[in-house]
Amino acid sequence: MRKALLIALSTAALFLITSSSKAFAEGKTVTVTGEGKCAKCSLKETDSCQNVIQTKEDGKTVTYYVTKNDVADKFHKNVCKGTKKVTAKGTVKEVDGKKQLTATEIKTVE
């Protein structure tokens, strides 16, 4: 009886974890390291300047669009006209198929 209950609870827990892993990841603080660029000047994707970080995940290029806040605004001068290796900490959520990073810290990596 105990073994059957343990198996049932383990199965339920595994199901909950796999079905809602995206929801848990969206509020979690993450660290992203990659190429810091300007979405307007370097990528020609936006009408106004915006920080982006491009990194490789599973062999594919993933672009994180950094949401505008004081941290992003203060850092932007570092990547507006060129590319630099950067590390950023913050929370990630997906909006309209794009990953948005709300940064609490961004710094260049040397």
Query: pLDDT tens-digit profile of 11-59?
Result: 545 454 444 344 445 568 899 999 999 999 999 999 999 999 999 989 9
**Is the separation of the CB atoms in 77 and 56 below 8 Å?**
no
Identity of the residue numbered 63: T
At residue 34, the pLDDT reads 95
Question: What pairs with residue 93 in β-bridges?
Answer: 100
Backbone region of residue 71 per phi and psi (left: phi > 0; alpha: psi in -120 to 50; beta: other values): alpha
- H or E stretch at 54: strand 51-57
Domains and CATH numbers, the chain: 27-108 (2.40.50.140)
Instruction: Classify the C-alpha dihedral 21-27-33-36 as positive or negative.
Output: positive
